[in-house]
Amino acid sequence: MTGFAVRPDGPARPTVRSSGSLLVDNIGELLTNAPGAEGDPLGLRRDAALLIEDGEVAWVGPARDAPPADRRIDAGGAAVLPGFVDSHAHLVFAGDRAAEFAARMAGEPYTGGGIRTTVGATRAASDGELRATVARLRGEAMRQGTTTIEIKSGYGLTVADEARSLRIAAEFTDDTTFLGAHVVPPEYADRPDDYVGMVCGPMLAAAAPYARWIDVFCERGAFDVDHARAILACGQAVGLGVRVHANQLGPGPGVRLGVELGAASVDHCTHLSDADVDALAATRVDCMCAEGGHTATVATLLPGAEFSTRSPYPDARRLLDAGVTVALATDCNPGSSYTSSMPFCIALAVREMRMTPAEAVWAATAGGAAALRRTDVGRLARGARADLIILDAPSHLHLAYRPGVPLIRQVLHNGVPQCPQ
Ligand SMILES: [Zn+2]
C-alpha cells in the first residue's frame, strides 16, 4: 500500500506500508523497549512473536499464543529489536575528506575548520549529485538497521544551498534540521554579525518550509553563545524545535543554552562541567509510565566523532548515573565521523564510554526516539511503527560483543522487508 506522509508545512514524501498481516515468530529474544519489570528498560521477552498490520505493530506476545497471519517470517530463535533511530547525521554534502583523516591519524589536531572544504564541494555539486549521496548513505544506514534518521543541512551556507539541502533531505526523512549556523562561511569571515542576521532572516525563511528542527554549532571557532541563542530563538519563533551541537571540542555554554531554550537534545557533550550535568538532570520529567520518566533535554553522544578525531570519549556513565536520558547517534559526516553504522557506535559506547550493552542498545533506539521527541519509533509495542531488526545472533549483547561483524540479518521498515541495495 502506498500513501503519502504529508507534513503541514512541507512536501509530500511517499511512504510504503505493509499490506495484510505479517507474523514474525520464533523470536528467541525480543527487545520491546516497553518495560514491564523493574530494572528491565529493554522490555525483554523470550520465545516471543510479533504481529504486523498496516505497517504497525498490532500484537506482541508469547510465540505459543501467536494469532494467525497472512504471511510469516521465522526468526529462527534470533534476537529481534526496534530499528535504530539515528538522531544526528549530516548526509547532504559532496566530496570526502579522507586525506584530512589521514593527516589527523598522523598527528594533526581536529579543529572543525575542514567543514569549509565540504562547503565548497557542496555548493559546486548538482542537485542530482547531492541526492545520490543521500540515497547511498540512507541505504547504507538501512542495511545496518537504521530505520529512522535525522538529516541536517549545513554544508551549503547560502540561502539557496541551505534550502536545497533541506529540500533533498526531506525526500528521505521527516526529521530534517536546519544547520545554517554550522560555521561562518569564508565570505562572511570578517562580519559574523551579518552572517547571523542572514541566517535569522532570508535563510531561515527559505529553509523553514523543509525543516522540523534548528541546530547551531555552539563552539569556540564556530558560534558564540549570544549568536547561538539569537539563531535558535529565531527558529523557535517560526515553529522549529531546538537542538544544539555543544561542548564537543571544549567546555562551554552550549549545553546550558540548550536546556535554557528547552532543546530536545544537546549533542556531543564531550566536555561537561558538573553544572552542565545538573542542568540536564533538572529537566527530568517524572511520569507514571513504566520507564519512570526521562529528561526533556536528551544528551546525544556521538562516539564516532571521538573515534575519528582521536579525542577523549564523553563520559556516558556520569550522565546516566545523574539520571540524564542518553541517546547514541552516528554524526555521519565526511569530516569528523564518516560512519553510518549504529552497531559500531554501540560497540564504542560499551567499550569506551562505560555503558552496558543494554544501555547502549536502548540509547540507540528509544534514546534516539526521545531525542527526536517521537513516540512512534524506537519501541515495539502495539501501535508503534513496525520498524525492526532481526539479528544474526541470539542476543542484543552480540552487537557490542562481536564488533565489526555484519549481524543485521533482516530489516523491516513500516512492516516491509528491505531488499539488499
Ligand atoms: Zn554533527
The answer on pLDDT for 2 being more than 80 is: no
For residue 266, pLDDT over 80 is answered with yes
Instruction: Looking at the structure, tell me whether residues 362 and 338 fall in a common domain.
Output: yes
Domain final residue, candidates 355, 371, 387: 371
Whether the per-residue pLDDT at 287 is higher than 90: the answer is no
Rounded to whole angstroms, how far apart are CA atoms 149 and 83?
A: 10
Question: Based on the domain organization, do 336 and 306 belong to the same domain?
Answer: yes
**Distance from the alpha carbon of residue 89 to the mean position of ligand 1, in angstroms:** 6
Residue with cell 507474523: 23
394 Cα: distance to centroid of ligand 1 (angstroms): 33
Say how many Å lie between the CA of residue 44 and the centre of ligand 1.
Answer: 32
Instruction: Look at residues 333, 350, 371 and tell me which one is the last residue of a structural domain.
Output: 371
CB within 8 A of 265, min separation 6: which ones? 87, 88, 243, 244, 258, 297, 298, 299, 300, 327, 371, 372
**One domain, residues 135 and 236:** yes
Mean pLDDT across 148-162: 98
The per-residue pLDDT for range 161-172, each reduced to its tens digit, is 999 999 999 999
Query: Distance, CA 347 to ligand 1 centroid (Å)?
Result: 19
413: pLDDT strictly greater than 50: yes
Specify whether 213 is located in the same domain as 329: yes
pLDDT at residue 11 in the model? 44
| Model pLDDT, residue 37 | 55
Range of the domain at 45: 2-83+379-417
Q: Mean pLDDT across the chain, nearest whole number?
A: 92
What's residue 288's pLDDT? 55
For residue 75, report the distance from its CA to the centre of ligand 1, in Å: 35
Whether residues 259 and 137 fall in one domain: yes
Task: State in Å: Cα 181 to ligand 1 middle.
Answer: 12
Q: Do 147 and 184 have their domain in common?
A: yes
Q: How close is the Cα of 297 to the center of ligand 1, in Å?
A: 17
What is the bridge-based pairing of β-strands 84-86 and 146-149?
parallel
C-alpha 361/C-alpha 358 separation (Å) is 5
Say if residues 155 and 113 touch (Cβ distance below 8 Å).
no
Beta bridge partners of 390: 80, 410
Same domain, 76 and 128: no
* Same domain as 303, residue 218: yes
For residue 181, the model assigns a pLDDT of: 97
Q: What mean pLDDT comes out for the span 291-298?
A: 81
Distance 217 CA to ligand 1 centre (A): 8
Q: What spacing in Å lies between the alpha carbon of 54 and ligand 1's midpoint?
A: 34
Contact 221, 113 (CB under 8 A): yes
Please tell me whether residues 190 and 58 are part of one structural domain: no
Where does the pLDDT of residue 41 fall: very low under 50, low under 70, confident under 90, or very high at 90 and above?
confident
Cα–ligand 1 centroid distance for 303 (angstroms): 11
- Would you state the pLDDT for residue 293? 72
pLDDT band at residue 292 using 50, 70 and 90 as cut-offs = low
Spacing, Cα 116 to ligand 1 middle (Å): 14
**CATH number of 289's domain:** 3.20.20.140
Output the pLDDT for position 5. 38
- Per the model's pLDDT, the better-predicted residue between 22 and 1 turns out to be 22
The number of distinct structural domains making up the chain is 2
This prediction has a pTM of 0.94
For ligand 1, the distance from its centroid to the CA atom of residue 273, given in whole angstroms, is 21
Listed in order, strand segments (DSSP E) in 7-133 are 12-16, 21-31, 44-53, 56-62, 71-74, 79-82, 84-86
CATH code at 23?
Answer: 2.30.40.10
163-214 tens-digit pLDDT: 999 999 999 999 999 999 999 999 999 999 999 999 999 999 999 999 999 9
Q: Are residues 364 and 228 in the same domain?
A: yes
Last residue of a domain, one of 371, 389, 406: 371
Cα-to-centroid distance, 115 and ligand 1 (Å): 11
297 and 403 housed in the same domain: no
Same domain for 400 and 351 = no
